Chain A
C-alpha cells in the first residue's frame, strides 16, 4: 500500500506541475516542474516521505525502459531519412563524443576536488 500512496504523491505533484505550466505558460514539461516542486516540498518539510522514496527507486530504474517504445518507430520510418543517415550518424556520434569531452574538461577545470574521491563501483544491476 505504501508504494501506491507514494505513487499518489507523485501524481499529485505532476498535476500541480501541469497546473502551473498551464497557468503561467512555462515552456517546460509538467514532470520537471513537478520534480522541482516536490524537491522544494521536501526542503520545506525538512525530510522525505518514505512512501515516495519507496516508489521512486523502481520508477527511476524504469526511465530507460520508457524510452524504448519510442525508439521502435525509427525502424519503420527509416526510408524517410535514407539520404540523411551519414549526416545524422556523424552528428550524433561525433557531436556526443565532443560534448562529453568538453563537459568533462570544463567540470574538471572548475569543480573543486572532493575530499571523498570515490572509486567504489558497485556491481551493476541492469
Chain B
C-alpha cells in the first residue's frame, strides 16, 4: 500500500518528463479559457488567453512540479510558431492587390505608427524610473512573439516579462481599437485591421480575422511590417542609448 502511494505521488513528476502532459495541459486550459470566456459574456478586458494562462499557472502551483518542467514540454508547442508565421503568407498574398494599391500611404504611416508603439511605452516606463532590463522587455511589446523574443534577448530583457507585456498589449490594443474606432466613427475594415496588427500583434490579428477577412489580411500585413521594421530599427536605436 505504501509502495503504491509512493508511486502515485511520483506520477505528476513523471507525466512532465515527456512533453505530452504540458501540451495536453495547454490545450485543455485553452478550451477551458474559451468556455469560461463565453460564460462570463466575453468581457473585452479579459481574453480567453489570460484565463487559460491563469488556469495553467494554478495547475502548476498545485502539482509538485516547477515552471521549468512545464516550459520544457510547452516549448514543443512553441515550435509551431515558426510554421504559423510562414502560414501568414496566405492572407498576405490574398490581399496583395489591395496592398499594392495602398503601398504609399501604408509606407508613410506604418513606420511612424510602429515607432510610436514602442516609444510611448519605453518613455512612460523610463520616466517612472524603470531600469534598463525592464525597458528592454517592454520595447518589443507590439511585435509578434517570434520576433519579440529574439529582440528582447538581443537587448537584454526578460522573456517572462516580455510575454506578459505581449499579452497585456494585445488585450489593450483590441479593447483600444474597438473603443476608439467607435468614438472616431471609423468603420473601414482595412484601417481597423492595420491598427490591430500594428499595435496588437498576433492577438490583434486573430481578433481582426474574427471581424472579417479583409481586416484580417490588413492586420497580418500590419503585424508583419511592424515586426520587420522593429526588428531592424530597434536594435540600432537601442544601442545608441544603452
Point out residues on A near B: beta carbons under 8 Å: 7, 10-11, 13-14, 17, 27-32, 34-36, 38-39, 42-43, 48, 52-53, 55-57, 59-77, 80-81, 84, 86-114, 117-122, 124-126
Would B163 and A71 count as touching, CB distance under 8 A? Answer: yes
Would B84 and A104 count as touching, CB distance under 8 A? Answer: no
Q: Chain B contacts of A108 at CB under 8 A?
A: 184, 186, 191
Q: Map CB proximity to A onto B11-36 as digits: 1 under 8 Å, 0 otherwise.
A: 00000000000100011011000100
Quick one: given A59-B87, A99-B142, are A110 and B105 in contact (CB under 8 Å)? yes
Would B113 and A106 count as touching, CB distance under 8 A? Answer: yes
Chain A at the B interface: SS class: helix
Q: Map CB proximity to A onto B156-177 as digits: 1 under 8 Å, 0 otherwise.
A: 0011111111111110110011
Would A10 and B81 count as touching, CB distance under 8 A? Answer: no
Would B188 and A117 count as touching, CB distance under 8 A? Answer: yes
Quick one: given A31-B146, A35-B92, A88-B161, are A55 and B87 in contact (CB under 8 Å)? yes
Q: Chain A contacts of B67 at CB under 8 A?
A: 72-73, 76
Would B82 and A30 count as touching, CB distance under 8 A? Answer: yes
Quick one: given A56-B90, A96-B176, A104-B184, are A29 and B146 in contact (CB under 8 Å)? yes
Quick one: given A71-B49, A73-B67, A104-B180, are A28 and B228 in contact (CB under 8 Å)? yes
Q: How many residues of B contact A (CB 8 A)?
A: 113
Chain B at the A interface: SS class: helix
Would B206 and A64 count as touching, CB distance under 8 A? Answer: yes
Nearest B residue to A66 via CB reads B81
Q: Which 4 A-B pairs have the closest CB atoms?
A: A31-B85, A95-B121, A70-B163, A69-B74
Would B160 and A70 count as touching, CB distance under 8 A? Answer: yes
Would B172 and A97 count as touching, CB distance under 8 A? Answer: yes
Would A103 and B117 count as touching, CB distance under 8 A? Answer: yes
Q: Chain B contacts of A67 at CB under 8 A?
A: 49, 145, 163, 166-167, 170, 202-203
Q: Chain A contacts of B128 at CB under 8 A?
A: 86-87, 90-91
Would A70 and B147 count as touching, CB distance under 8 A? Answer: no
Q: Chain B contacts of A96 at CB under 8 A?
A: 117, 120-121, 141-142, 168-169, 172-173, 176, 199
